[in-house]
Structure 1
Amino acid sequence: MNYHRIEHLNRQDVHIDELVIHSFEMGLYLAEVDFDNRKAFIIDDETGRPKKFHSMDQVKAAFGEATIRNAYLSHQSAYDEMVGTPDKVDNTLKVPLFGSAEPG
């Protein structure tokens, strides 16, 4: 499993190509980083699992030293899982927070 650690990325000499903040219900966020042509989630050193953030400000603070070229907020709606609706389709909303690239 690919992963990144904050202490390796939160430095002034690091240039992150893309940061995607995945938003989940109840104010839970996971950070996915594309750095050095490797896209992976930030892990928690104590658990070895993806690190949970509880606000966008917490994510921003965690990467306060690094240079981030493009950042996005990503969210998937659960509304398409209702009874009687067609099969699930990808309904991911990817909103640019800053940067020059368009969401893909």
Structure 2
Amino acid sequence: MNFHRLEHLNRQDVHIDELVIHSYEMGLYLAEVDFDNRKAFIIDDATGRPKKFHSIEQVRDAFAEATVRKAYLSHQSAYDEMVGAPDKVDNTLKVALFGTAEPK
């Protein structure tokens, strides 16, 4: 399984192509980073599992030193999982958040 460590990415010389903050229930967020042509979640060094964040601001602060070119908030709604409803379709909402302009 691919993963990234926050301590390796939150440095001034690091340029992250894309940061996707996945929103889950009860204020739980996971950060997926596309860096060096490798897309993977940030892991918690203590547990070896994906690192949990409790707000978008906490994620932004965690990457304060790195340059983030594009950042998005991604959320999937569970409201289409009703009995008798048609088969589930991808209802992911992806909203642009913060980042720098595209490199030229």
Q: TM-score, normalised by structure 2?
A: 0.94
Partner in structure 1 of residue 13 of structure 2: 13
Query: Cα deviation per residue 1:39-90 (whole Å; 9 max; x = unaligned)?
Result: 0000000110100000111101110100000000000000011111111110
Partner in structure 2 of residue 48 of structure 1: 48
Provide structure 2 residue ranges, at least 5 long, that are not aligned to the other structure: none
Matches within 5 A, 1:24-103: 24-99=24-99
| TM superposition shift of 1:98 | 3.0
Q: What is the identity, as a one-letter code, of the residue corresponding to 2:82?
A: M
Q: What is the identity, as a one-letter code, of the residue corresponding to 2:32?
A: E
Total equivalences in the alignment: 101
Q: TM-score, normalised by structure 1?
A: 0.94
Provide structure 1 residue ranges, at least 5 long, that are not aligned to the other structure: none
